[in-house]
Amino acid sequence: MAKPYAHPEVLVSTEWVDEHKHDPNVRVVESDEDVLLYQVGHVPGAVKVDWHTDLQDESVREYIDKDRFAELCASKGIANDTTVVFYGDKNNWWACYAMWVFKLYGHADCRIMNGGRKRWELDNRSWSRDPEPQYARTNYVAKDADLSIRAFRDEVLKHQRAGKPLVDVRSPGEYTGELLHMADYPQEGALRGGHIPGAVNIPWARAANDDGTFKSAKDLDKLYSGEAGLKRRSSVIAYCRIGERSSHTWFVLQYLLGYPKVKNYDGSWTEWGNTVGVPIEKGPGKPAEVAETVRSGA
Amino acid sequence: MSATLAERADAIATEFADLDPRERLELLLEFAEKLAPLPPQYAAERDAGHNRVHECQTPVFLWVDLEDGRVHVHADVAPEAPTVKGFVSLLADIVSGATAAEVVAFQPNLVERFGLAQSLGMVRMRGLQAIAHHIRRKVADAAAK
């Protein structure tokens, strides 16, 4: 029998979503890199949460606060006991990001539709171009931010000095310091190229198959405990440029492989690579064999 | 087309300005849908990876031609990137038929003028601005030949 995921209940298939898309206890949430994709076509009944305009504060480099998160959920008809299923473009990259924010504020039942938009399309399921549906408001109560999944700079520095595991999920070129950003990604500048000393490089999209679904538990285990040498019980911090790609890796480690202590460092390279006085390492460090661009589809 | 580049830009900016953030996205989507398909003579260059806008996060391919002193823009953008496609289409509408001098002199602070910041967010705006600068640079290069 194939090795199961640690928490298989957090992954649902496109078929499950098709069957439950109008279930009042389920809210399907699309979250994409491209802000217009939802309008081009979405899972019928799904609402849209934009990573940038809905989840980020505009005046502080910060996520929306607890009250705004509660308002967002209330306005989308999401109650505290709603099953929220996220999906999106690019291997569910932004879906994982949105789920991370929902987990930050303690939403209990969050799931990812395996394969996202790509799998839905490949399965020939129907797209809706209707305006975003309006559901009855709820009285959502958000919890205080759960900092067990979020790392800040000083903590990362301590973690690094203690020689604890860090996963850099950017492309090999960004990791070695040759590139300050991915050629295909938006420029989010940093003054220094390289990585946090001691971090191992496992580009995030290596966790995904060509159809956007997650790799099997066995293959993921090979990647993270084999190649990266991570230990399931240790505290792991994942980072990228702004904490988006690393939320995909956070999801994989925490839910598919069952690592109990995984944090996303959302300050990531745009903070670390611009911070006065923190150490940086250049060059290959620990090996990563496959370029991210091979599978990212970005 | 008799209007100047600035007049066309103003007309489109006014159209956007009258809309709320959600409607602005709808209008941008209309632009995406009306971007002319890439003329077949450019397909081979695109397939070879030439003429790509490297500042942009999704594959965007752009050609700028000067014909009888008038600018023509041809572009190809992946369908899974409708925002970028809409923006390219909008820019192509504005600059096509203009003189090179008009395009080079044009300050493409479009995103601010169209009020798209609120609908798109800062990170996305930067990528889109890069496309506008790319077009200006290409036109300046073509005019210098």
Please give the span between the terminal C-alpha atoms of chain A, in angstroms, as a whole number: 34
Rg (CA), chain A: 18
* B84 contacts on A by Cβ (under 8 Å): 34
pLDDT the model gives residue A39: 93
Mutation target for A interface from B88, B123, B126: give the one with most A CBs within 10 A: B123
Query: Looking at this predicted complex, what is its ipTM?
Result: 0.77
Cross-chain residue pair B83–A34, CB shorter than 8 Å: yes
* A36 contacts on B by Cβ (under 8 Å): 25, 28-29, 32, 82-83, 86
From B56, B86, B127, residue closest to A36, measured CB to CB: B86
C-alpha distances (whole Å) from A63 to each of A31, A49, A267, B70, B118 are 15, 13, 11, 46, 16
From B28, B57, B79, residue closest to A185, measured CB to CB: B57
Cross-chain residue pair B126–A186, CB shorter than 8 Å: yes
Q: Is the dihedral of CA A273, A278, A282, A287 positive or negative?
A: negative
> Edge to edge, what strands does the sheet with A26-30 contain?
A11-12, A110-113, A83-87, A26-30, A47-48
Residue range B67-111, pLDDT digits in tens: 988 999 999 998 889 999 999 999 999 999 999 999 988 876 766
Question: Which residue pairs, CB below 8 angstroms and at least 24 apart, start in B49-56?
Answer: B53/B130, B53/B131, B53/B134, B54/A183, B55/A187, B55/B127, B55/B130, B55/B131, B55/B133, B55/B134, B56/A184, B56/B84, B56/B127, B56/B130, B56/B131, B56/B134
pLDDT the model gives residue A290: 37
A182 to chain B: closest CA residue? B57
Helix or strand (DSSP H, E) at B20? none
pLDDT at B133 over 90: no
Q: Where are the beta strands (DSSP E) in B6-83?
A: 60-67, 70-77
B14 to chain A, closest Cα gap in Å: 21
Q: A131: how many CB neighbours lie within 10 A of its CB?
A: 9
CA A229 to chain centre: 21
- Residue A236 CA to residue B143 CA, distance in Å, equals 54
Cross-chain residue pair B25–A39, CB shorter than 8 Å: yes
Cross-chain residue pair B58–A34, CB shorter than 8 Å: yes
Q: B4: how many CB neighbours lie within 10 A of its CB?
A: 14
CB A208 within 8 A of CB A251: no
Residue A122 in contact with partner chain B when CB distance is under 8 A: no
Which residues of A are known to be catalytic?
240
pLDDT, one tens digit for every residue, chain A (298 residues): 688 999 999 999 999 999 999 999 999 999 999 989 999 999 999 999 998 889 999 889 999 999 999 999 999 999 999 999 999 999 999 999 999 999 999 999 999 999 999 999 999 999 999 999 999 999 999 999 999 999 999 999 999 999 999 999 998 888 998 876 554 455 557 788 899 999 999 999 999 999 999 999 999 999 999 999 999 999 999 999 999 999 999 999 999 999 999 999 999 999 999 999 999 999 987 544 433 333 333 3
B80 to chain A: closest CA residue? A37
Cross-chain residue pair B29–A186, CB shorter than 8 Å: no
Provide, for chain A, the percentages of residues in helix, strand and coil under a 3-state DSSP scheme, each rounded to the nearest 5: 35, 15, 55
Residue A49, CA atoms < 13 Å, CB-side half-sphere: 32
pLDDT the model gives residue B132: 85
**CATH of the domain spanning A8-145:** 3.40.250.10
CATH topology of domain B5-144: Sufe protein. Chain: A (3.90.1010)
Mutation target for B interface from A35, A51, A121, A240: give the one with most B CBs within 10 A: A35
Cross-chain residue pair A35–B86, CB shorter than 8 Å: no
* A183 contacts on B by Cβ (under 8 Å): 54
Domain segments of chain A: what residues?
A: 8-145, 148-296
Residue A57 in contact with partner chain B when CB distance is under 8 A: no
A160 to chain B, closest Cα gap in Å: 29
Cross-chain residue pair B29–A34, CB shorter than 8 Å: no
- Residue B24 CA to residue B16 CA, distance in Å, equals 6
Across all residues in chain B, what is the average pLDDT? Answer: 86
β-strands B60-67, B70-77: how paired?
A: antiparallel
pLDDT the model gives residue B33: 95
Burial track A230-266 (b if 16+ CB lie within 10 A, e otherwise): beeeebbbbbbbbbbbbbbbbbbbbbbbebeebbbbb
- What is chain B's length? 145
* A117 contacts on B by Cβ (under 8 Å): 80
Q: Which among A10, A195, A11 is positioned nearest to A109, based on CA atoms?
A: A10
pLDDT at B5 over 70: yes
For chain A, give the longest Cα–Cα distance. 54
CATH superfamily assigned to domain A148-296: Rhodanese-like domain (3.40.250.10)
B33 to chain A, closest Cα gap in Å: 10
pLDDT the model gives residue A292: 36
Cross-chain residue pair A36–B126, CB shorter than 8 Å: no
pLDDT the model gives residue A85: 98
Residue A133, CA atoms < 13 Å, CB-side half-sphere: 18
From A36, A184, A187, residue closest to B126, measured CB to CB: A187
* A188 contacts on B by Cβ (under 8 Å): 123
* B121 contacts on A by Cβ (under 8 Å): 35, 50, 52-53, 56, 58
- Report the SS3 class of residue B77: strand
Q: Which among A289, A213, A292 is positioned nearest to A245, based on CA atoms?
A: A292
